[in-house]
Amino acid sequence: MITIYKKEATVYMVAENKLDAKDYENLIPVLTEHINAYQEVFWYIEMQNFEGWAAETYWKGIELYLPNEKHLKRVALVGSVKWQEQFTEVLLPFSEAHIKFYKTEEKDDAKEWIK
């Protein structure tokens, strides 16, 4: 399950438990709208009790395409270190974005960096 909210040019997302295709389908329009609306977009992703993705969602995530993705400047990932590599793989299409991982106890630092 994901919870998404926006504040100015930043999209905040909390991912909990296992993400499925519906979560992916809810996320894409929000990111697309933001990327089209702002010259610089920032994405904060916090993982709580995160168990990963359903198989079909994982592969969709790898193929993620967003128009004007060059507008995505920073992505902050907050969660367990063991998920860093896997989540970074999902975000590979955002190659122009600066992606930074933070441990759960560093989430205040992540929020500050994403501003």
Better-predicted residue by pLDDT, 47 or 93: 47
30 vs 63 pLDDT, higher one = 30
Question: Is the confidence at residue 111, as pLDDT, over 90?
Answer: yes
Instruction: Tell me the average pLDDT across 75-83.
Output: 78
Name residues whose C-beta falls within 8 Å of residue 94's C-beta, 6 or more positions apart in sequence. Answer: 69, 72, 75
Are residues 50 and 37 in contact, defined by beta-carbon separation less than 8 angstroms? no
Nearest-10 Cα torsion for 68, 69, 72, 73: -100
Q: What pTM does this model have?
A: 0.79
Asked whether residue 57 carries a pLDDT value surpassing 90, the answer given is no
The pLDDT assigned to 33 comes to 87
Check: CB of residue 23 under 8 Å from CB of residue 14: no
The pLDDT value given to residue 108: 95
Residue 1 has a pLDDT of 84
